[in-house]
Amino acid sequence: MSKEKQYAELVDQLAYKEKRSEVIVALVGAINARDLAKVVLDVEPKNALIEGLTHENAKVRWWCLQLMDHVADESFIPYIIPLLHDPVGKVRKHAVHALTCDICKPDRCGLALSLDVKEQIERVSAKDPDKRVRDEAQAALLQWN
């Protein structure tokens, strides 16, 4: 099996709770926040996480965001943006979180967001139909002011 295929299968398995910890270690090489912050991903797991953002299963999308939140990498930003409009509120909320949270990231250093991205988060804070999503976005806005 090719490396790409192996990582794609690991991403599929993020849908299932039972083996999730093992799957995460196999995928990104760490499980706890402190170790995740030191992870530098190879191209195959990185691409597999990006692919996972468009997975049909919302749990998989959420977990890919979760891992991206901890393994901060600015090249993920353009792939996370469309999930601000995901049909599932929990996923939209976590997309806002992954883009805007500092605490989970290496050295607590948040991603450098462009003005355009900040404006999109601002729109989410005003217009998202789900209050929890708006709250997450509003918390980010406060942090910038």
101 lines the binding site for Zn ion (CB under 5 A): yes
* Rounded-to-integer distance, Cα 104 and Cα 70, Å: 5
Secondary structure of 44-106 in HEC code, one letter for each residue: HHHHHHHHHCCCCCHHHHHHHHHHHHHCCCHHHHHHHHHHHHCCCHHHHHHHHHHHHCCCCCH
Binding mask 4-43 for Zn ion (x = CB under 5 A): ----------------------------------------
Q: How many residues bind Zn ion (CB under 5 A)?
A: 3
69 lines the binding site for Zn ion (CB under 5 A): yes
Least Å from the CB of residue 84 to Zn ion: 16
* Rounded-to-integer distance, Cα 46 and Cα 40, Å: 9
Shortest Cβ contact with Zn ion: which residue?
104
Say if residues 101 and 136 touch (Cβ distance below 8 Å). no
Our CB check for Zn ion shows the closer of 29 and 110 to be 110
Among the listed ranges 6-14, 51-59, 66-74, 85-93, the one in contact with Zn ion (CB under 5 A) is: 66-74
Our CB check for Zn ion shows the closer of 69 and 128 to be 69
Rg (CA), the chain: 15
Binding site for Zn ion (CB under 5 A): 69, 101, 104
